[in-house]
Amino acid sequence: MKLELLFEQLFGTEHQIVVNGDFVSGTASFDGQTLGIVGTTHHAPIGVAMALQQARVLLDLMADHPGRAILLLIDTQGQQLRHLDELLGINRAMAHLGCCIDLARRQGHRVVGLVYDQALSGGFITSGLIADACYALPEAEIRVMRIPAMARVTKLSEEFLTELSQTSPVFAPGVQNYLAMGGLRGVWRGDLQVCLRDALANAPRTDVRAADGQARGGRLLAKTVADQVIAA
């Protein structure tokens, strides 16, 4: 969904969200409370700079507006695939962003992620996947890596991987697969204000994704095996 339409459906005109290049930030008014908004658009690659821009917003929110609920808006092609970003420690910058989101949760900020367009891999791990809960619009796309790069890493053929991506839920991209595996708490359909209201009120504070994946039949071993380790 286009950002402008998303803003209108969620907040009407009651928002001050600025899109600056690929970077999205600002505030919105919802049910009488102010929400902090941070995210990306245009399928942004997440490099060191973009990770730090987002982290900056989170640090300021924690310092200046303790407890304010935060909505993460996700549209990314994944981590920036550049030599300079690797040299500068992109993994450290992304971990820093993830730690900022994690600390915000621990300090009592409600943090909700929404994949409104596309989510890939490293750009997703340090945003929606470390929120209290992550949701997606039905038409969103979620995947780990594009098939040509995957073929190179796995040494499996592109043809084989393309075929697999039609049939295997643990491999195939898609909102429904992530929902079944517990990676998404829910899919937002219909009135998006109702969906956001529900998320802000009911997103779990602890990590329930393995249990969700088991209950929904999409990821049967994650919780079982973790419990076995605890009991061993």
Shortest Å distance, C-beta 21 to other proteins = 16
Least separation, in Å, of the C-beta of 94 and other proteins? 5
Does position 150 interact with other proteins (CB under 8 A)? The reply is: yes
**In whole angstroms, how large is the CA radius of gyration of the chain?**
18
Enumerate long-range contacts of 31-35, CB under 8 Å, 24 or more apart. 31/197, 33/68, 33/69, 34/65, 34/68, 35/68, 35/69, 35/70, 35/71
Between 152 and 197, name the residue whose CB sits nearer to other proteins. Answer: 152
Under rule CB under 8 A, residue 148 binds other proteins: yes
Does 93 interact with other proteins (rule: CB under 8 A)?
Answer: yes
Q: Are 36 and 66 in contact (CB under 8 A)?
A: no
124 lies in the binding site for other proteins (CB under 8 A): yes
Does 176 engage in binding with other proteins (CB under 8 A)?
A: no
Task: Please state whether beta strands 111-115 and 133-136 pair in parallel, antiparallel, or not at all (unpaired).
Answer: parallel
Instruction: Give the SS3 label for residue 203.
Output: coil
- Asked whether position 64 contacts other proteins by CB under 8 A, the answer is no
Tokens standing for residue 228: 């076995």
Q: Does 190 bind other proteins (CB under 8 A)?
A: no
Question: Which one of 65, 91, 187, 211 is in contact with other proteins (CB under 8 A)?
Answer: 91
- Residue 40 touches other proteins, criterion: CB under 8 A: no
Q: What are phi and psi of 78, to 5 degrees?
A: 105, -170
2-31 footprint of other proteins as x/- string (CB under 8 A): ------------------------------
User: Which two structure tokens, joined as six digits, stand for 10?
Assistant: 């969620």
Q: Which of 22, 183, 196, 203 binds other proteins (CB under 8 A)?
A: 183
| Residue 113 binds other proteins (CB under 8 A) | no
Distance of CA 142 to the CA centre of its chain: 9
Least distance (Å) between residue 75 CB and other proteins? 17
Among 87, 166, 190, 201, binds other proteins (CB under 8 A): 87
Q: How far is the CB of 137 from other proteins (least distance, A)?
A: 18
* Contacts of residue 37, Cβ cutoff 8 Å, sequence gap at least 6: 15, 17, 24, 25, 26, 27, 28, 70, 71, 73
Tokens describing residue 183 = 């990676």
- Residue 122 · residue 78 · CB < 8 Å: yes
Pick the binder of other proteins from 28, 37, 44, 62 (CB under 8 A).
62
Applying CB under 8 A, among 177, 185, 195, 203 the residue interacting with other proteins is 177
Name residue, tokens 């998006």.
192
Smallest gap, in angstroms, from Cβ of residue 93 to other proteins?
6
